[in-house]
Structure 1
Amino acid sequence: MNSPLLELPGAVAAPEEASLDSSLDVGVPWHFGDPFAEQRSAARSAVLVDRSHRQVIAVPGEERLSWLHLVLSQHLTELPEGQGTEALVLDSQGHIDCHLMLAHHEGAVYLDTDAGAQATSALPTIGVDGKQTLPEYLEAMRFWSKVEPRDATDEFALLSAIGPDAAELLRKAGVDAVPSAPWEVVGLPGGGFARHVPFRGLFTVDLVVPRKSLVDWWMRLTDTGFRPAGTLAYEALRVEALRPRVGLDTDERAIPHEMGWIHTAAHVAKGCYRGQETVAKVHNVGKPPRRMVLLHLDGSVEVRPETGDPVLHGERKVGRIGSVVLHHELGPVALALLKRTAPVDVELVAGDAEQERAVAAAVDPDSVPPDSGEPPGRLAARGLRGH
């Protein structure tokens, strides 16, 4: 469904011939005339982003936490009311199907994810190419549990308030209790809730509001001083914060360890969820074959690589391009999955040369995940052998 905010003066929709990067955000404003200024406002003051195209799923029922604990990758049995987190749906091999943001509020757990998110079917004969929509998958996994998951996208819409002045402006708009602790969730006047999202240095609150009140909330917040911003600006900030997005920064082989989602979205100590064996095995006795990094792209040329293009070291393919954005300070940058053995202190080439969009690229050293050392399982085994 298209957001009514696309009808606002200055709102620009994504082009019809959109790249994969922008096609995921069709239906909401792409920008409001100046994406770079919108990014700068997010860093220096406050912006409001329409993300009402995200799918929202409500999970009420007395067994909601224990059931979600079994279905998702996160430890959820003790998630208190007024708290959120993030989680994944994995396939049986531990590959990532979808990423979810959670909020436990007033007797239900709310999940939000990219529109059209799919999960590998619990029964391979069901669905197209063994895939189901996320609501279909959750319904198939319900069995006799006392839960009633439902697609609540028609009921709720999501706005993101970002920037150092966001908390003050939210209070000015009548949000008396602004969540400030990591993943804190508070109710909103008139229904819905606000959830604090850790966003690597940028104060960020997601507002999940009644969809019928979306325009009213937008006008109330922009009237207090929030600058309207589109998904182009949001995506640039997301890439800068090294937050991956399923379908752009992941491929069919991606596992949580490669994306930096271990401990944040995937729990390594609990069992019983699909894909858990792969998560535990790689964490305890191995290392992920790839790692996500930030690439600085040559900005002296007009072409840029696209999602899915290769990353080369000499003639050898060493990685895959994910999200590609223009950042107001960093210039053209991209997230990329590189082989663990790929050098990170040399010049690389990003993009498809046959399509004439290959450019020089360099890995941002601050984005390289630290070496976690020898896996704990190997250390334990070595200790046993020593005795």
Structure 2
Amino acid sequence: MSGSPFLALPGAVVGDPPDGGVAAHYGDPMVEQRRLEQGRAIVDLSHRGVITVAGPDRRSWLNSMASRALDHLAPGESAEALFLDAAGHVEHAVHVVDDGERSWLVLEGDAAPSLATWLDRMRFMLRVEVADVSERFAVIGAMPSGDGFPVELPDGALTWRDPWRKVLADGYGYAPEAGHAGAAWRYAEAIVPRDALPSLAGAVRSGSVQVAGALALEALRIAAWRPRFATEVDERTLPHELDWLRSAVDLHKGCYRGQETVAKVVNLGRPPRRLVMLHLDGSDTVLPKRGDAVVGLKVRPEPAPGDEPERRAVGAVTSAGMHHELGPIALAVVKRAVPADLELIVESHGIDVAAAQVEIVPAGAAAAVEVPRLPRLGIRP
């Protein structure tokens, strides 16, 4: 893909992976956050991947492999779905919207070729056609205040609206709904022809719309407790650990790879790890990076004079950002048994950064016995 025309806008500073190839910011990430939150700005996400699936069998075929029911997806309706391995670990996360002829899947750019290849191998004799169209189509993000987008979109553009704001009818939330940080999350993505990017960047130049960088979007995402595949997921991730059952898993849907593990953890067990948000001490102006160790400090019941608290690694930072109201914040995945009141620090850049934990998936998250067991086999009516 050629360089984005948004990088030619005044003040644009290119981002680091996983947001390389687009602007991290345009000079003032805090102001950009406010503009984005108020629905007045767009974000260049042209580094994201786009896959299309065409053919009369596309929805039932995708439904047979995905964690979310897609067989009855109406034109223009949005969904989020995961593709899991046989042990229930997350392999891909996709944003799905159908236009009546094709299903469009938006995902991390570097993941598009592998998912497209895998899907193509799974076609068998079904009437479907898979294409990686990332070279021809791009993604623009926004937080619209209503049904529209902050900028006029080209003809044929499709809009995906994030379902994260509430637990879907057939999903399940580990985090309590009351006071959930995602309740005000209004995020949307527009899929546009890649050759429309210059005119969209031109709308920014003319003042028709404002622009925000990837750092602004990331800070708002972290504050909303919203998991992202490129940051929160590793080779061991189960969707339960990130509270992803609220938006991307249908607990009344059977017959997809990894479904038995999803059912077992929901009905019988507990997530082995759990997502938390961290409020970070900003006095050292250090912002942790992905992979920095989260350490618990355990004080002995009767410490002797001079005894230091015992330090024990309990997890790792997955995302971090500077929020315009909350200050430095992060998402981290920690061990299930870490107490909610345990004093935590993040080891970053050779400095101990004090961290206050906000539970997303609670430490006491237990088996959800009221959720029906998933059938081993079956077809959604």
Query: Is the TM-score greater than 0.5?
Result: yes
Separation (CA, whole Å) in 1 of partners of 2:372 and 2:79: 30
Separation (CA, whole Å) in 2 of partners of 1:55 and 1:379: 35
The 1:224–1:106 alpha-carbon spacing in structure 2 relative to 1, beyond 3 Å, is: farther
Aligned to 1:338: 334
Contact conserved, 2:68 with 2:248, CA < 8 A, in 1?
A: yes
| Cα distance, 1:195 vs structure 2 | 2.5
Contact conserved, 1:303 with 1:358, CA < 8 A, in 2?
A: no
Aligned to 1:113: 107
Query: CA deviation digits over 1:92-122, x for unaligned, max 9?
Result: 111111211000113110001011117xxxx
Separation (CA, whole Å) in 1 of partners of 2:371 and 2:249: 21
| Cα distance, 1:356 vs structure 2 | 0.7
Deviates more, 1:105-114 or 1:225-234: 225-234
Separation (CA, whole Å) in 2 of partners of 1:371 and 1:82: 38
Question: 3-state SS of the aligned residue for 1:70?
Answer: helix
Question: 3-state SS of the aligned residue for 1:219?
Answer: helix
The 1:89–1:378 alpha-carbon spacing in structure 2 relative to 1, beyond 3 Å, is: closer
The 1:211–1:379 alpha-carbon spacing in structure 2 relative to 1, beyond 3 Å, is: closer
Aligned to 2:48: 54
Aligned positions, number: 341
Instruction: For 1:139, give the aligned amino acid.
Output: D
Separation (CA, whole Å) in 1 of partners of 2:355 and 2:65: 39
Separation (CA, whole Å) in 2 of partners of 1:296 and 1:374: 28
Question: 3-state SS of the aligned residue for 2:109?
Answer: coil
Contact conserved, 2:295 with 2:315, CA < 8 A, in 1?
A: yes
Aligned to 2:143: 162
Query: CA deviation digits over 1:234-293, x for unaligned, max 9?
Result: 111111111111232122111000111114112222222111111111111111112111
**Match status 1:35 vs 2:29:** yes
Query: CA deviation digits over 1:356-386, x for unaligned, max 9?
Result: 1331111125x45496654328999xxxxxx
Aligned to 2:61: 67
| Cα distance, 1:205 vs structure 2 | 2.8
Give the structure-1-normalised TM-score.
0.81
Q: How does 1:273-284 map to 2 (within 5 A)?
A: 273-284=256-267
Instruction: For 1:239, give the aligned amino acid.
Output: I
Separation (CA, whole Å) in 2 of partners of 1:149 and 1:194: 20
Separation (CA, whole Å) in 1 of partners of 2:254 and 2:186: 33
Contact conserved, 1:294 with 1:336, CA < 8 A, in 2?
A: yes
Q: How does 1:192-211 map to 2 (within 5 A)?
A: 192-198=157-163, 200=182, 201-211=184-194
Separation (CA, whole Å) in 2 of partners of 1:196 and 1:251: 25
The 1:215–1:378 alpha-carbon spacing in structure 2 relative to 1, beyond 3 Å, is: closer
Question: 3-state SS of the aligned residue for 1:99?
Answer: strand
The 1:222–1:284 alpha-carbon spacing in structure 2 relative to 1, beyond 3 Å, is: farther
Separation (CA, whole Å) in 2 of partners of 1:269 and 1:363: 33
Instruction: For 1:219, give the aligned amino acid.
Output: G
Aligned to 1:151: 132
Instruction: For 1:31, give the aligned amino acid.
Output: H
The 1:46–1:379 alpha-carbon spacing in structure 2 relative to 1, beyond 3 Å, is: closer
State the superposition RMSD in angstroms: 2.4
Contact conserved, 1:166 with 1:203, CA < 8 A, in 2?
A: no
Separation (CA, whole Å) in 2 of partners of 1:152 and 1:5: 20
The 1:378–1:96 alpha-carbon spacing in structure 2 relative to 1, beyond 3 Å, is: closer
Separation (CA, whole Å) in 2 of partners of 1:243 and 1:379: 26
Deviates more, 1:157-166 or 1:271-280: 157-166
**Match for residue 288 of structure 1 among 245, 268, 271:** 271
**Match status 1:8 vs 2:9:** yes
| Cα distance, 1:219 vs structure 2 | 2.6
Separation (CA, whole Å) in 2 of partners of 1:168 and 1:75: 27
Q: Share of identical aligned residues, percent?
A: 41
Deviates more, 1:67-76 or 1:267-276: 267-276
Aligned to 1:184: none
Contact conserved, 1:321 with 1:351, CA < 8 A, in 2?
A: no
Instruction: For 2:338, give the aligned amino acid.
Output: A
**Match status 1:25 vs 2:13:** no
**Match status 1:376 vs 2:369:** yes
The 1:317–1:144 alpha-carbon spacing in structure 2 relative to 1, beyond 3 Å, is: same
Contact conserved, 1:39 with 1:233, CA < 8 A, in 2?
A: yes
Contact conserved, 2:24 with 2:215, CA < 8 A, in 1?
A: yes
Question: 3-state SS of the aligned residue for 2:230?
Answer: coil
Contact conserved, 2:41 with 2:150, CA < 8 A, in 1?
A: no
**Match for residue 217 of structure 2 among 226, 229, 234:** 234
**Match status 1:83 vs 2:48:** no
Give the structure-2-normalised TM-score.
0.83
**Match for residue 269 of structure 1 among 252, 259, 283:** 252
Contact conserved, 1:166 with 1:226, CA < 8 A, in 2?
A: no
**Match status 1:190 vs 2:155:** yes
Query: CA deviation digits over 1:150-195, x for unaligned, max 9?
Result: 001122111112253784744xx3xxxxxxxxxxxxxx65222122
The 1:372–1:317 alpha-carbon spacing in structure 2 relative to 1, beyond 3 Å, is: closer
Question: 3-state SS of the aligned residue for 2:266?
Answer: helix
Separation (CA, whole Å) in 2 of partners of 1:262 and 1:196: 17
